[in-house]
Amino acid sequence: MKVYVVTDLEGVAGVTEWDPRHQEGDEPAATVARTRYSRWLTEEVNAATRGFFAGGATEVIVNDGHGAGNTIDPELLDPRVQLFHGTGRPDYCTGLDETCDAIASLGTHAMGGTPQGNLAHTMGKGIRLYSINGVTVGESGYQAFLAGYFGVPFIFCAGDEWAVREMQQLCPGCVGAATKFGTS
């Protein structure tokens, strides 16, 4: 069984601010925070990878989907993972095709406009609404539609509570793990 995983950063447990690389201020502190966030994401990917292999996966492909795709630390990554990262990726979900048996998302944030979503946005901070065939979706919803084109089921979502709810509504049977809960 071949599992395709898309990652993002804003839905990772413990991440409560925008990517520090894009903030003005203390450069050394931003580097420390970014390194910490990268490690946390990599640990979430490793935990999911162990679960996928324990559940029968024979191959796990991970697309580092945050920004330019340099968020996962390859040195800490489970060596069984095939990683797509960096700016040379030809499309949004490089490696996703009809040979995949399932798709999952990790570090998932709520879609733009979600009132209690932690770091909620869709694709970019300026996009307020994203819809496909009249269905409002966030980034993982977009990934699910793309996977559906290839006949690949969306099976797992980990991240912000509201992102998990979105995916469970959009993809019945999707297993969710909320890693954070927005309060305002």
For 149-167, write each residue's pLDDT tens digit: 999 999 999 999 999 999 9
Top pLDDT among 27 and 184 is at 27
Domains and CATH numbers, the chain: 2-180 (3.40.50.10780)
What is d(CA 62, CA 82) in angstroms, rounded to the nearest whole number? 6
Average pLDDT over residues 89-110: 90
Confidence band for 27, pLDDT divided at 50, 70 and 90: confident
Q: Residue 23: pLDDT band by 50, 70, 90 thresholds?
A: low
pLDDT of residue 91: 72
The mean pLDDT value of the chain amounts to: 89
What's the average model confidence in pLDDT over 174-178?
97
| Mean pLDDT score, 155-183 | 94
Token readout for 115 is: 């009132």
- pTM greater than 0.85: yes
Q: What is the pLDDT of residues 59-69, one digit of tens each?
A: 999 999 877 77
State residue 120's pLDDT score: 81
pLDDT tens-digit readout, 117-139? 888 888 876 777 788 899 988 88
Q: Decide: residue 33, CB within 10 A, 0-12 exposed, 13-18 middle, 19+ buried.
A: middle
104 vs 114: CA distance, rounded Å: 21
* Predicted local confidence at residue 141, as pLDDT: 93
Residue type, 155: I
The single-letter DSSP state of residue 124 is B
Distance CA 182, CA 24 (A): 24
In whole angstroms, give the CA distance from residue 48 to residue 5. Answer: 9
